[in-house]
């Protein structure tokens, strides 16, 4: 379930890319991106544009089997990029992806790498919107640009994370990671008056809801901050205005387990 329309996602892919391009105008493409260790600014932009082209390929070809994401993640050869070339390349890729999505429509069935129930182009419209949103923040951190984000986009990006947190890979025990479920394991994310997310890990599988009634029990973890900072906190970006109270070990485990898809 999403809170933005398919057309809005398509528009945001282009709008967020345009903002990203404005953040890096005339910037040094070799500047290291501290929030993405190992990448410089040119590689960050190559990753974003590569993701757009990856999604475009999936939707345009109506792929039903995995499509390689090497163009987004094989970045070793992109250490000395030219800003003007990347600017044009990013603009073209975002526009092409938005056009491909609109031509396909939200309900066309295509492959995606997640374990969610959504197997349609709408998954890619949403995922590429928020992929661009978060990496725009990385670029702004690198260049010192001001970063603003509409609340409705921010709320939907947090919702997307919460949805990913309920798939089995995010919570079931594995040889390399302990399970998340257990008695007393509840987390509350409170974004002032904007929203509140309640995560319950006490049952057979995780559940979450936004703006639900509080449980009478004290949560194991409470995270408070502006809604934009809540989003960046989930993605492990710098968030000086976020306050954490409670079981920080549980919170760190939850963030690690629920962020498994970022490492794919």
CATH of 6-148, one of 1.10.10.60, 1.20.120.450, 3.40.109.10, 3.20.20.70: 1.20.120.450
Question: What's residue 177's pLDDT?
Answer: 87
Q: Where are the domains of the chain?
A: 6-148, 161-263
Task: Say if 6-148 and 161-263 have the same CATH topology.
Answer: no
SS (H, E, C) the chain: CCCCCHHHHHHHHHHHHHHHHHHCCCCCCCCECCCCCCCEHHHHHHHHHHHHHHHHHHHHCCCCCCCCCHHHHCCCCCCCCCHHHHHHHHHHHHHHHHHHHHHHCCCCECCCCCCCCCCEHHHHHHHHHHHHHHHHHHHHHHHCCCCCCCHHHHHHHHHHHHHHCCCHHHHCCECCECCCCCCCCEEEEEECCCEEEEEECCCCCCEEEECCCCCCCCCCEEEECCHHHHHHHHCCCCCCCCEEEECHHHHHHHHHHHCHHHHC
The pLDDT of residue 182: 96
Question: Which pLDDT does position 118 carry in this prediction?
Answer: 76
**pLDDT per position in the chain (264 positions), as tens?**
578 999 999 999 999 999 999 999 999 999 999 999 999 999 999 999 999 999 999 999 999 999 999 999 999 999 999 999 999 999 999 999 999 999 999 999 999 988 666 789 999 999 999 999 999 999 999 999 999 999 999 999 999 999 999 999 899 998 888 999 999 999 999 998 889 999 999 999 999 999 865 555 799 999 999 999 999 999 999 999 999 999 999 999 999 999 987 764
The per-residue pLDDT for 161 is 96
What pLDDT was estimated at residue 264? Answer: 43
pLDDT at 114: 81
Fold category of 161-263 in CATH: Nonspecific Lipid-transfer Protein; Chain A (3.30.1050)
């Amino acid at each position: 379930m999403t809170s933005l329309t398919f057309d809005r996602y398509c528009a945001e892919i282009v709008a967020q890319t345009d903002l990203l391009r404005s953040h890096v105008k005339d910037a040094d493409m070799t500047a290291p991106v501290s929030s993405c260790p190992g990448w410089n600014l040119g590689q960050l932009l190559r990753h974003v544009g590569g993701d757009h082209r990856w999604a475009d390929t999936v939707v345009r070809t109506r792929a039903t089997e995995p499509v390689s994401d090497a163009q987004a993640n094989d970045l070793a050869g992109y250490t000395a990029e030219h800003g003007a070339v990347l600017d044009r390349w990013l603009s073209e890729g975002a526009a092409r992806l938005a056009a491909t999505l609109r031509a396909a429509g939200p309900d066309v069935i295509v492959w995606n790498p997640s374990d969610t129930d959504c197997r349609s182009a709408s998954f890619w419209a949403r995922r590429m919107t928020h992929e661009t949103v978060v990496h725009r923040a990385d670029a702004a951190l690198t260049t010192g640009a001001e970063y603003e984000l509409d609340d409705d986009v921010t709320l939907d990006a947090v919702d997307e994370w919460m949805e990913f947190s309920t798939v089995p890979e995010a919570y079931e025990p594995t040889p390399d990671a302990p399970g998340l479920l257990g008695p007393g394991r509840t987390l509350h994310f409170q974004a002032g008056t904007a929203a509140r997310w309640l995560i319950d890990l006490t049952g057979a599988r995780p559940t979450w809801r936004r703006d639900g009634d509080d449980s009478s029990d004290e949560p194991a973890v409470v995270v408070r901050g502006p809604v934009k900072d809540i989003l960046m906190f989930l993605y492990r970006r710098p968030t000086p205005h976020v306050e954490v109270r409670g079981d920080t070990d549980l919170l760190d485990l939850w963030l690690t387990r629920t962020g498994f898809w970022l490492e794919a």
